């Protein structure tokens, strides 16, 4: 271990977590890992140490990252039997246990996030919520957008590690604000996917070539990253998951729950959520969220392009 290397923990080694963890190792740090299934061999080959529980990760590492699917998963990892909090408590009066930092990079409920932060703070440790955008491609390329909620000192301490995983890194505000920003991100992404899907179903049904229409639109005001990437997926029928419909459903439900609590109307978000639900009902819940187009195709009884 070099003098500048840190002892880090990473819990949750799925599609996103594994490449993010690998990038931390590539940055020269020592990594202790845990996941609900088998630790990927590529992480072990890179030098990661597998731990039997989140608590063990917390005991070994000074900064602990979590990257799991949903709010209940984060709660279980942090506060369940053998969770991170029990590992922090298990340090007893050891002053080395105080001042550790827990960084949750999952996309979860902002209100629950604030409660989790208070519990971790009560143990003498910092808590940061830092959800990401950019999908598997961004995780592998270390180009994720990272939306951070936490205090400035904790952010400054973790920022060099965020730099190993992402490019656009912003401290939004206090705990929960990172998650609020991610919910906003998911609203915008979902509505853009729905807009692109509607447009491509329309042009295909009208008899125009959707690939050539997309090419033309990429040079105009309608151009967007969603049209570029997800529009191509809809045309080429490549729905292998970069970000699953089931996970985007979860995020839109968070948006609608928050809207009810705030007394805010999000009518277009509600429609996008129903389109996602339709896709799940058609058996596409584990497909990429660009497969939202399949709900519109079913209603039109016309696909944008033939399935392979």
Residue-wise pLDDT tens digits, 92-102? 455 545 689 99
pLDDT tens column, 166-205: 999 999 999 999 999 999 999 999 999 999 999 999 999 9
Predicted pLDDT at 160 = 98
Q: What pLDDT, on the 0 to 100 scale, is given for residue 1?
A: 45
Q: Which two tokens stand for residue 187?
A: 């609203």
Residue among 295, 296, 260 nearest 281 (CA): 295
Residues 6+ apart with CB under 8 A from 93: none
Beta-carbon contacts of residue 213 (< 8 Å; ≥ 6 apart): 199, 200, 203
Kindly give the parts of the chain with pLDDT less than 50: 1-3, 92, 96
Tell me what pLDDT residue 94 has.
54
- Torsion-angle region of residue 200: left (phi > 0), alpha (psi -120 to 50) or beta? alpha
pTM of the complete model: 0.91
- CA dist 51 and 60 (Å) reads 9
Q: Which of the residues 7, 119, 167, 182 is marked catalytic?
A: 182
- pLDDT (0 to 100) of residue 3: 46
Which pLDDT does position 98 carry in this prediction? 63
In the prediction, which pLDDT does 91 show? 54
Question: What are all long-range contacts of 141-146, with beta carbons under 8 Å and residues at least 24 apart?
Answer: 142/23, 142/166, 142/167, 143/167, 144/20, 144/168, 145/169, 145/185, 146/105, 146/170
How many CB atoms are located within 10 Å of the residue 1 CB? 9
Please, is 140 exposed, middle or buried when counting C-beta atoms within 10 Å of its C-beta (0-12, 13-18, 19+)? Answer: middle
Residue 89 has a pLDDT of 83
Q: Are the beta carbons of 181 and 172 closer than 8 angstroms?
A: yes
Task: Determine whether 38 is an active site residue.
Answer: no
């Amino acid at each position: 271990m070099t003098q500048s290397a840190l002892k880090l923990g990473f819990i949750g080694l799925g599609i996103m977590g594994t490449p993010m963890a690998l990038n931390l190792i590539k940055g020269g740090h020592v990594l202790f890992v845990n996941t609900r299934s088998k630790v990927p061999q590529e992480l072990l080959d890179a030098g990661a140490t597998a731990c039997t529980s989140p608590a063990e990760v917390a005991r070994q590492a000074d900064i602990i990252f979590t990257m799991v699917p949903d709010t209940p998963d984060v709660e279980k990892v942090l506060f369940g039997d053998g969770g991170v909090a029990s590992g922090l408590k298990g340090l007893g009066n050891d002053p080395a246990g105080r001042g550790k930092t827990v960084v949750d990079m999952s996309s979860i409920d902002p209100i629950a996030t604030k409660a989790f932060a208070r519990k971790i703070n009560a143990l003498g440790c910092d808590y940061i919520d830092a959800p990401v955008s950019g999908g598997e491609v961004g995780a592998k390329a270390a180009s994720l957008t990272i939306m951070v909620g936490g205090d400035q000192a904790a952010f400054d301490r973790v920022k060099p590690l965020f730099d190993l995983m992402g490019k656009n890194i912003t401290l939004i505000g206090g705990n929960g604000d990172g998650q609020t920003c991610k919910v906003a991100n998911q609203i915008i992404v979902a509505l853009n996917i729905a807009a692109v899907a509607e447009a491509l179903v329309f042009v295909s049904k009208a008899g125009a070539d959707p690939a050539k229409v997309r090419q033309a639109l990429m040079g105009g005001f309608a151009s967007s990253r969603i049209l570029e990437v997800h529009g191509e997926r809809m045309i080429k029928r490549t729905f292998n998951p970069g970000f699953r419909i089931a996970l985007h459903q979860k995020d839109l439900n968070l948006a609608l729950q928050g809207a009810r609590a705030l007394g805010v109307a999000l009518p277009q978000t509600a429609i996008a959520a129903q389109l996602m639900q339709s896709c799940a009902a058609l058996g596409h819940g584990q497909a990429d969220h660009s497969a939202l187009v399949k709900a519109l195709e079913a209603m039109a009884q016309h696909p944008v392009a033939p399935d392979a």
